[in-house]
Amino acid sequence: MKCNSREIAVAANAIALILSKDKTADELNVLGNLIVAVGSLILTIAAQEESNSSKS
């Protein structure tokens, strides 16, 4: 995926607005925590892959 930082920021903003429409505060908290958890796992996977490739 090739995007510049501004395009990523605009996309993230649009996704947040779309996902948050007509949600309660509790639903937004659950959704936000889910997104943070997924992001953390993706970063962990990327770090492990980078670590493995640097050992080769």
Q: List, for residues 3-18, the tens digit of each pLDDT value.
A: 899 999 999 999 999 9
Which candidate, 16, 20, 7, 21, places its Cα nearest to that of 39? 16
Q: List, for residues 27-55, the tens digit of each pLDDT value.
A: 999 999 999 999 999 999 999 999 999 88
User: What pTM value is reported for the model?
Assistant: 0.79
Q: Say if residue 23's pLDDT is above 80.
A: yes
